[in-house]
Homo-oligomer: A and B are copies of this chain.
Amino acid sequence: MTTETHTVHGTAYDRLLDLSRERALLESSSGILGWDSETMMPTGGLEYRSRQLAQLARLTHGLATDERIPELLEEAAAQEGIGPAEQANLGQIRRDHSIATRLPATLVEELAKASSIGQHEWAVARERDDFDHFRPHLEHLLGLSRRKAECLGVPEGGEHWDALADTYEPGMTAAGVEAVFTPLRERLTNLISDLEQSTSKPSNAFNEAECPIESQEAFCRMVAGALGFDFERGRLDRSVHPFCGGSHCNDVRLTTRFQPTEVNDALGSTMHETGHGLYEQGLPFEQVGTPLGESVSLGIHESQSRMWENQVGRSRAFWTWCAPHARSMLGGAIGGLSDDELYQGANIVRPGFIRVEADEATYNLHIMIRFEMERAMISGDLEVGGVPEHWNRLYTDYLGLEVPDDRRGCLQDVHWSMGAIGYFPTYTLGNLYCAQFFEKALEELPGLEAGFERGEFGRLLDWLRSNIHRHGRQYPPGELCERVTGRPLSSEPLMNYLEGKLRPLYGV
């Protein structure tokens, strides 16, 4: 593509920010095209759309690796008037540039190609329940991922996994994850085993009731608005897989999906994506296109989605407010359910094979299994051929289940077929950050949950805005956690929250 002459103006810092804004602007256009692909695009548009996105990705990569950046960074560091916020911007720009330039273009292309083929062949293998079909592709992707880790730089005393995971969650290491996962696993498996043995089960009537899709959609839209999602700066549509996408804080696009039953699945998905969306809408528009206008990490993002989905959306206080709305808007069988039945239906815990269908307690065990496996795969301790057997053994160990086939086993998730090694733990880190943040919010905002009973969610949103959203990427995840909660990430708050809610519900 052609060279564009940039008038050299402003300080080195200003010029770095201009480059950052240019890159983000292109990415934001990709964001809309990506959203469109999943929601609006006719099927015929698929081939050309991939060319459009590849072109924008190429242009974005060109900006991310702009050769002027190192010199400008050096100049800017010595510049006057650089305070902590500006330092943070520079630090993140340095980090992004470093990641972008460490990966050779040939490797990036090989990975993109292997990922595209991998996803296709994974879908075939899953459809046929044939792991061997996927096996060579996974081996190839792991090989490329190892090379990627080496290009990024394996930390001293660390693992290949660490280098990959750091791109999703800055600072995350396998050892660090293990340190929080180990105590979490112990309390969690105890809790789940107690719940399973309970003779007093919550009612599942809510999840079995049928309800017209249109009513579900209106209901979910009402709840998203009540939580604070600004529909003047966002949308809610349908897609096969729910997501939060779009362009920037003033144009945030949520999607959800509906089935004839399982209304709480649609509601939970909507509240989850609304949580992501509230974070995005809370980022400062005046910083758009610079790190201070971006979200911190996948884990912190997930903490926001989980908070509205779980800590809010599965609380008794929420259902005190929500139940009358659910009964009147959803009608039918749901119109006859009590507050308690709705609350209980939102809180069923039941070990299952499928991660994306898991409840908030067992979900984390699914993640631990994946973490353990991908760590062993990338280090070479686990041969790809042994994946199904190892997977199934872990499902027995962690969840007490006999996996019936690989479709409901090691072929269920798309992540590895995309070459995304080091991604899974961010889901559970999100749950952990979330519980720790929420515990702090309860402490700092007396009567918070009583407000939920009256449909008052603005206090929590304001607290998240001022403690988390408005900072953009100023603080790395661990530092943000300590600043907000006064201590490092721990599994205690999540377990206290889960036990405090689920033991009474199951009478154990």
Which residues of A line the B interface, CB within 8 A? Answer: 1-4, 6, 22, 25-26, 28-29, 32-33, 36, 40-45, 47-49, 51-52, 55-56, 58-59, 62-63, 65-67, 230-235, 247-248, 250-251, 288
For A49, the chain B residues whose CB sits under 8 A away are 247, 251
Who on chain B is nearest to A22 by CB? B1
For A65, the chain B residues whose CB sits under 8 A away are 2
Compute how far the CA of A371 lies from the CA of B48 in the bound complex, rounded to whole angstroms.
39
For A48, the chain B residues whose CB sits under 8 A away are 25, 28, 247-248, 250-251, 288
For A62, the chain B residues whose CB sits under 8 A away are 1-4
- The minimal Cβ–Cβ distance linking A406 to chain B, given in whole angstroms, is 33
Compute how far the CA of A297 lies from the CA of B182 in the bound complex, rounded to whole angstroms.
68
Asked if A235 contacts B55 (CB within 8 A), the reply is no
Asked if B234 contacts A42 (CB within 8 A), the reply is yes
Asked if A42 contacts B2 (CB within 8 A), the reply is no
- The 4 closest A-B CB pairs, nearest first, are A45-B251, A44-B233, A44-B250, A2-B62
Who on chain B is nearest to A36 by CB? B32
Partner of A232, one of B42, B52, B250: B42
For A40, the chain B residues whose CB sits under 8 A away are 40, 235
A-B contact pairs, 18 of them (CB 8 A): A1-B2, A1-B3, A1-B22, A2-B62, A22-B55, A25-B48, A28-B52, A29-B55, A40-B235, A42-B232, A42-B234, A42-B235, A44-B234, A48-B247, A48-B248, A48-B251, A52-B247, A59-B59
- The minimal Cβ–Cβ distance linking A241 to chain B, given in whole angstroms, is 19
Asked if A41 contacts B251 (CB within 8 A), the reply is yes
Q: Which of A6, A29, A250 has the most CB of B within 10 A?
A: A29
